[in-house]
């Protein structure tokens, strides 16, 4: 039986247990431009805005892809509707209508700039992952990055996120239009401030007054986002189409838990965030550090060690008692002491909540997906914790396990002739191919990656010695490597 495609007309005929837009989509205005309309945005930020639109139609979304037309192509025949499957003890389905337009920047950068320059655009939100910011190792804009170098010589037809922001803000200033607010939703510590500096740095290369205006007038709030969002699979497509009785080419899924924390202080029009459950605070850093260092570091640990041990999903890995106990101990004994929690957040309870979320039987979060972009993620998720622990005189042996597992994972990928899914793919493939299989040879090759490992950390033997021993599947004076994890390292 051939199913009809999901679209506005078909949404009216969906089963009563499938939630659908509770507003007239034709009245929705495009007040938000979002860069990176992938699964996380459509499952997270768009859900919050979907709840806002019945009361305030100003906040429809124009999604912009900086690379691929796949999402646009899949949703074009669906009037940009898609289904969100919320996977808790019971699974529920909701059709989201907040995305009203999808643009592909390489096809028509002019259309993107016109949308960004429109007076009705008040917000720019972003989920392009860490690599989309084109930052150097010190957190400033990498002016030598190919995309940035290209945009510096072709500003009116940009290809990079920062290039689009700087050019759009230039046009708004020239037209006397107030600037938009820019909300990064990526897992970067101090994300708003870093993006603000990068945008001003780009502008300053040609126009110091524009850079000064960006620094004084444009608000780049710090943010933190959280919700486990596995990639869309054909199994999810089949499941959703069966529940809807209509075909959805690109549904998304997430756990029931979600969190969005935004720094207070915008002087421009913004949604009534708190009415839909967004947290406004002056302590985003506290939330951010807690999430990055506990949730995200545990995710990376499960990914690399779990893959070496033969597990496929987060739920599989956390069901491995030795791995579960290791991750819990690492969080409680090595990470929590480096944190100062936001007011009202109990860190021990937060650790238990994370482990519970990982055990969700209805979540199929692929470890391979979490393992992507390790060279970009690990400096934020693990290395800062290691630096703080060393400064406090505490051992870092357990914290070396996810790093050593990442190195082993890269080597195994190279041996299989596969290209790592990472911005440093070419370099990592070369490193992995050259590795000999023992720490004395291999670990220095990875530590030479200056964009990943700070030189001061590489020079500290309190870090390099346990890292090398753990890479070899051995314990240290402070830490006995669990036998199951030891076996995974030596496999």
pLDDT digits (tens, 9 = 90+) for 76-119: 999 999 999 999 888 999 999 999 999 999 999 999 999 999 99
CATH 3.40.50.720 is held by the domain 8-282: yes
CA dist., res. 388 & res. 384, Å (int): 6
pLDDT for 1 equals: 61
Which residues of the chain does CATH 1.10.1040.10 include?
A: 285-490
What is the mean predicted confidence (pLDDT) over 408-428? Answer: 94
Mean pLDDT (the chain, rounded): 95
How far apart are alpha carbons 379 and 396 in whole angstroms? 15
HSE-CB for 141 with a 13 A CA cutoff: 24
The tokens for 278 are: 């967004």
Nearest to 171 by CA among 185, 184, 158, 153: 158
Mean pLDDT of 33-53: 98
Residue 11 pairs in a beta bridge with none
CATH level 3 topology of 285-490: 1.10.1040
Strands 82-87 and 91-96: antiparallel
Distance CA 448, CA 444 (A): 6
Classify the phi-psi angles of 445: left when phi > 0, otherwise alpha if psi is within -120 to 50, otherwise beta: alpha
Percent of the chain topping pLDDT 70: 100
pLDDT in tens, 313-361: 999 999 999 999 999 999 999 999 999 888 778 999 999 999 999 999 8
Q: What is the mean pLDDT of residues 453-475?
A: 96
Residue 274 burial (CB < 10 Å; 0-12/13-18/19+)? exposed
Contact predicate 412/429, CB 8 Å: no
Coil, helix or strand at residue 37: coil
Identify the pLDDT of residue 345: 83
d(CA 197, CA 207) in angstroms, rounded, equals 15
């Amino acid at each position: 039986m051939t199913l009809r495609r999901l679209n506005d007309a078909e949404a009216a005929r969906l089963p009563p247990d499938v939630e659908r837009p509770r507003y007239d989509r034709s009245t929705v205005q495009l007040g938000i431009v979002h860069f990176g309309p992938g699964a996380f945005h459509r499952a997270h930020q768009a859900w919050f805005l979907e709840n806002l639109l019945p009361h305030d139609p100003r906040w429809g979304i124009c999604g912009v892809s900086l690379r691929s037309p796949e999402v646009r192509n899949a949703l074009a025949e669906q009037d940009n509707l898609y289904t969100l499957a919320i996977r808790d003890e019971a699974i529920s389905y909701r059709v989201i209508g907040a995305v009203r337009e999808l643009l592909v920047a390489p096809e028509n950068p002019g259309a993107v700039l016109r949308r960004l320059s429109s007076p009705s655009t008040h917000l720019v939100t972003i989920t392009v992952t860490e690599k989309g910011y084109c930052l150097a190792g010190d957190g400033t804009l990498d002016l030598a990055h190919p995309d940035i170098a290209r945009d510096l010589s072709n500003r009116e037809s940009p290809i990079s996120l920062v290039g689009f922001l700087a050019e759009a803000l230039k046009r708004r200033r020239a037209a006397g239009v107030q600037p938009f607010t820019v909300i990064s939703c990526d897992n970067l510590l101090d994300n708003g401030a870093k993006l603000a500096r990068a945008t001003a740095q780009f502008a300053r290369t040609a126009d110091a007054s524009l850079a000064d205006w960006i620094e004084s007038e444009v608000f780049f709030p710090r943010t933190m986002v959280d919700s486990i969002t596995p990639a869309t699979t054909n199994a999810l497509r089949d499941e959703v189409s069966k529940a809807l009785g209509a075909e959805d080419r690109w549904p998304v899924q997430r756990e029931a838990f979600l969190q969005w924390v935004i720094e207070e202080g915008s002087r421009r029009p913004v949604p009534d965030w708190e009415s839909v459950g967004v947290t406004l605070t002056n302590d985003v850093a506290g939330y951010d550090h807690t999430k990055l260092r506990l949730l995200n570091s545990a995710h990376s640990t499960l990914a690399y060690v779990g893959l070496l041990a033969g597990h496929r999903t987060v739920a599989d890995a956390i069901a491995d008692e030795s791995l579960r106990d290791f991750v819990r101990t690492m969080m409680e004994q090595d990470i929590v002491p480096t944190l100062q929690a936001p007011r009202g957040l109990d860190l021990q309870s937060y650790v238990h909540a994370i482990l519970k979320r990982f055990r969700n039987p209805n979540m199929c979060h692929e470890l391979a997906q979490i393992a992507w972009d390790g060279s970009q993620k690990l400096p934020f998720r693990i290395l800062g914790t290691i630096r703080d622990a060393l400064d406090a005189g505490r051992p870092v042996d357990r914290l070396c396990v996810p790093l050593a597992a990442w190195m082993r994972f890269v080597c195994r990928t190279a041996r299989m002739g596969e290209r790592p899914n990472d911005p440093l793919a070419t370099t990592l493939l070369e490193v992995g191919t050259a590795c000999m299989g023992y720490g004395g040879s291999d670990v220095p090759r990875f530590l030479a990656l200056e964009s990943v490992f700070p030189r001061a950390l590489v020079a500290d033997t309190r870090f390099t010695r346990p890292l090398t021993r753990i890479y070899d599947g051995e314990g240290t004076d402070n830490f006995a490597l669990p036998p199951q994890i030891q076996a995974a390292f030596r496999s």
